[in-house]
Amino acid sequence: MILTLIGFMGSGKSSVGRLLAEELSFTFVDMDDFIEEMTGRKIREIFREDGEEVFRKMETKALSTLLGLDGSLVLATGGGVVTREENRNLLKKSDYIIYLRTGMETIKNRLKNDDSRPLLQGENRDGKIAHLFDERLATYENLFTHVVDTDSLSVLEVVEVCRGFLQKSFSRRL
């Protein structure tokens, strides 16, 4: 069973995923960490030295490997994974695609002091966020099997909503 979390940078995919996996006794994989381990390089370095396109290819390779695994997995994706059609098709192999839907103002606030995202470096961070947000919103909306509106929820509350999805679908199958 693979449960995949999608959503914009700062939507909480990694924190929610880690906790959710722990509560379900599933294995947790953060795709960015997986790519760093696979390549022995930092995401920042890959973007700086090789550019976004090369990173996207690595992301597709990682996604294809991870979605081919057996076992029980919670997978936290990178926010840009939905931008490639190939990735969107791969993502559909997940049993659950949970979209952590977060408003743009919340994202701007959460990422205010964050220097780690290569796509948000330099001037006008809010403008960059707004641009990517508008570009990607419809793609997230068209891909999910389940959605959580996270704006007013804590990480723990989001985890509980996700657990509720699983319980509901299991009881429906019984």
- List residues near ligand S3P by CB under 6 A: 9, 13-14, 32, 43, 78-80, 117-119
Q: 57 or 168, CB closer to ligand S3P?
A: 57
- What's the N-to-C CA distance of the chain in angstroms? 17
Q: 96 or 102, CB closer to ligand S3P?
A: 102
Q: 9 or 91, CB closer to ligand S3P?
A: 9
- Min. distance of Cβ 69 from ligand S3P in angstroms? 20
- Min. distance of Cβ 80 from ligand S3P in angstroms? 2
CA pair distance 46, 171, nearest whole angstrom: 44
CA pair distance 171, 134, nearest whole angstrom: 37
Burial of 87 (0-12, 13-18, 19+ CB in 10 A): buried
- Min. distance of Cβ 90 from ligand S3P in angstroms? 15
What are the C-alpha distances in Å from 56 to residues 14, 42, 63, 108?
A: 19, 14, 10, 24
Q: Hunting for tokens 């994706």 — which residue is that?
A: 77
- Min. distance of Cβ 26 from ligand S3P in angstroms? 19
Q: With contact defined as beta carbons under 8 Å apart, do 31 and 63 qualify?
A: yes
Q: 73 or 78, CB closer to ligand S3P?
A: 78
